[in-house]
Amino acid sequence: MRNFVNGYNNVKFKATTHKYKLNSMPKTQVIEVGDDSFPSQIYAFKPFGELLSTPDVEETELFDIIGEVVAKDNPRSKDMSGRTTKLIDFVLEDLEYDFTY
């Protein structure tokens, strides 16, 4: 990666818990790395069991899950910081038939 800016990771929803983040610009170039020592797994999977057993999930932490949508609620409007936004809740099921909302 070249032509980028390093900055503080002070956004609300973080793709990483690291203190800094890389910011791209119009001239930023990203080139594929063919090095076997470079990590190829960029996902942060969490099992449903961990989500269900944790009473307070950090709402700003981004992570990956795999599940099937088995139910959904109707969209609803909510005021967030003076702006009206739409929210929808999904029920997901994993291969072990655990549910998360």
Structure tokens at 73: 């609620």
pLDDT, residue 98, reads 66
Q: Is 3 or 97 the better-scoring residue by pLDDT?
A: 3
Structure tokens at 24: 């791209």
DSSP the chain: -EEEEEEE---SSBS--SSEEEEEEEEEE------TTS------B--HHHHHH-SS--TTB--B---EEEEEPPPEEEEETTEEEEE--EEEE-TT--EE-
- Tens digits of residue pLDDT in 21-70: 999 999 999 988 788 887 777 788 888 888 888 878 777 888 888 888 99
What span, in angstroms and rounded, lies between the C-alpha atoms of 53 and 55?
6
